Copies of this chain bind each other. A is one copy, B any other.
Amino acid sequence: MGKIVQCVPNYSEGRDLAKIERIVAPYKRREGVKLLSCEPDPDYNRTVVTVIGDPEGVAEAVIESAGIAAELIDMTAHRGEHSRMGATDVVPFIPIKEMGMDECVKLAQRVGEALATQHGIPVFLYEEAATKPERTNLAKVRKGQFEGMPEKLRDPQWQPDYGRAEIHPRAGVTAVGARMPLVAYNIDLDTSNIEIGKKIAAAIRHSGGGFRYIKAGAVETKGIVQVTMNITNYKKTSIYRVFETVKMEARRYGVGVTGSEVVGMVPMEALIESVEYYLGLYGFSKEKVLETHLMD
């Protein structure tokens, strides 16, 4: 199959399923593109779509879909709990197979330019595709949200990477970027004391002095406390390392770790890294996994 890219576009519509159906239609009818999931959230009034396929096909489908979203979603009337600045709010490209980050950055540039020229939507490039340091962080790019964008675009510091410095009247502004796959990972503690979970989360996360690619917090669920995290670069901060560190920290409070779970999907390499660690496996690679050869 050659190169495979993943794309997780977020749309500012999570209630009207008929509209969502029309917005995701381009991902269903295109050869070489596969819609993995479509998760509308009515409270957020937002839909997260996961799609994989050949870069060419995915890029074309995203451009087409963003055009439909610009027609169907009116941001001037949008209400929802999640911050947002556009009908197609964010479009991250993620390298999956036979692709480097540089190729995802180029794909983000191509799609960003197309959104501006074909649909009149101003575009900020973010994360690995960012053109200025302050645009790396999506939260900073989106600050001010849809309502604040007309003013933000007047700031010389916040000229869009593509398109004119003027919002699309109904579809707002879109952020297009490139990033590593996220691994959403939770670790269960055998305690109902949320404070212990919070302390452990603080110890492992980047902002607390922990691992560089961990964003973590603590939640109460199923009568226990869970350390819940995003691993933003699983190649550099491995799952097993975080798991063993949480076990080690938990011992300090006399608390045990009872298990863990992956939310959503995980790249095979992230699992391989953990198997290599625990089994002391040497000379191993993806090529030794039989299924790798079923993908070509």
- B-binding residues in A (CB < 8 A): 1, 4, 6, 34, 36, 52, 96-97, 181, 188, 239-240, 243, 257-262, 264-268, 271-272, 274-275, 278-284, 288-296
Contacts and interface: CB of A to CB of B under 8 A. Distances in A.
A268 to B, nearest CB: 5
A97 B294 contact: yes
Contacts of A290: 6, 52, 96, 181, 265-268
Nearest to A53: B294
A289 B274 contact: no
Contact of A294 (B259, B284, B295): B295
A272 B288 CA distance: 14
Contacts of A280: 188, 257-260
A281 B295 contact: no
Contact of A291 (B257, B281, B295): B295
A36 B281 CA distance: 22
A57 to B, nearest CB: 14
A294 B96 contact: yes
Given A268-B268, A280-B257, A262 B288 contact: yes
Given A293-B34, A296-B34, A274 B279 contact: yes
Contact of A278 (B1, B34, B181, B240): B240
Given A265-B288, A268-B289, A274-B275, 15 more contacts: A4-B294, A52-B290, A52-B293, A96-B291, A96-B294, A257-B280, A259-B279, A264-B288, A267-B291, A268-B290, A271-B271, A271-B275, A275-B278, A291-B292, A291-B295
A126 to B, nearest CB: 22
